[in-house]
Amino acid sequence: MARLRATDSGQVYNIDLPDLKVTRDDVDGIYVLHGRGHFQTFETREEAFERKKDIESTPGNFFRK
């Protein structure tokens, strides 16, 4: 069963996706980085994609515990 997390607006995101994904939460106007055990929110798209890049480029940092 997939682990799910929700933002304050009630939008639900799957954190067990095999790849990291950045999704815009249209209700809150934020960006959500989710997948591979991660769930983080950002004010800007650029911040979210920068963090995604950091996670993907760090060896052994595929899953957050």
Q: Give residues with Cβ within 8 angstroms of 37, minimum separation 6.
A: 3, 15, 16, 63, 64, 65
pLDDT in tens, 4-58: 999 999 999 999 999 999 999 999 999 999 999 999 999 999 999 999 999 999 8
pLDDT at residue 65 tops 80: no
How many whole angstroms from its chain centre is CA 42? 9
How far apart (Å, rounded) are the C-alpha atoms in residues 19 and 29?
23
pTM of the model: 0.85
pLDDT at position 38 is: 95
